[in-house]
Structure 1
Amino acid sequence: MKAASPVVAILIGVMLSFGTEAAEHLKTPHQIIGQLRLRITSIGQTTKDVHDYEIATQAALDDLHTFIETGPDLTGLTEKDKWGKTPLNLAAYLGFSEIVTALLAQPSVAISLNEPDDTGVTPWTYSVFAARQSAFACNPKIFTSPFSWAPLHQSQAYYTARDPYPVVRKLLEDAGAHQDMAQAKRQWNEICKYQSDEVRAELEATPDLQPAVIEAGRRALDAFLKKIQRR
């Protein structure tokens, strides 16, 4: 067999090197979701334009599809981060419905959709918690921490415009997610140690946690904004 010419050998080497470099720079699902969260916060600081949110979401979807189509190892679709969250768990926590849809289309994700994180919370339960909207009711101490308060407040335009958590919840339920509202309430109380007695009593009495926590979060945020406006 005739040996390849030096030029061909060099070209092959360059192509292999490029492929390796491209694989090394491929964004993981966790990185893609994290970058979308930061972009949403940034848009909330500036334009608050719904179209800009759509552009950011589509960019994240494009990155995720690139990972799925060209990634050498798709275990990243179900891999856990340092908090034990899979990409699906993280996307449900943040209310990224389009990302949830794309992930659930992958068989490895669909069969592990009930996988909890290190706190024992599943994607379905996070969708019920509507964390980015209910956080103000869950932990009012957020208002005393600018590092927590500022990004949450800046992201509210996204959640108000899109109301994504009911969509995420339905996607998960349609995919066969395990549903346990009583357990969700117990986990809410374990996580939300600083909620007011009024909120705790209200949520104990409600048959469905999701709309109640979203409303409680909205009221807590409105009350705080009115308070600082009076200063």
Structure 2
Amino acid sequence: MASLPDAVTTLLRAADANLLLRDAEGLVEVLTGCGWTPDVESGRFSTDGWDLLSSAWPPNVSVFFDGDDHPVRVAALAVAAAMKAEPHRWSFDSEGPDWSTWAVDDARWDEDEVDWLMWEAEDVMVSLFTAGETPAGPGTLPPHLHLAIGRADTPSEGLPRDDERARRVVREGSVVDRWYLAGERELLEDVIEALENDPDPRVRAAAESERWIRERAIDGPPPAE
């Protein structure tokens, strides 16, 4: 079985509500400490061909890897093996077949319905999914895996919009808090404008990039910093 990038295996070991998923500061501290490199866009990191999207409201992480069927399956099996190597910590479950026991070339990858594999600890939930080429709108998604890490106490519907919290983060939050706030999808216009005029260039760049994404511009790349 091929090894995973160090940043991925270290992240799995650091999946804790009081460390990784504590707050915005905890996310950046742990992720950069694990070897993930932050991007311009709010909450986005990368390492060795893997991408990570994180949010601070509520704190959660989603890791993505795509490519051809074989390397994606190898990577997904390696993630599952790393999780199963700690049975004293994680309780395992799956609503479908346990594909973590299959070989990379097993025919069931193409014949059976592949579902999420799930692990739960006292305060954290980890889910792992993989799929081959998948229709998506007018095109297709390449073979990919999705690893999700979230707090066990987060409601299934997520946390409600909180405009007062957003304004408080703009006024009193750290640079990291404001960088994460820029990526939230439902923000009042005055909050967005404040972030776009933030004294820190990282926050301004993230806010400008997120506005471009919100407006779904098609006539060029996101605005430069």
TM-score by length of 2: 0.28
Name the structure where strand makes up a greater proportion of residues. 2
TM-score by length of 1: 0.27
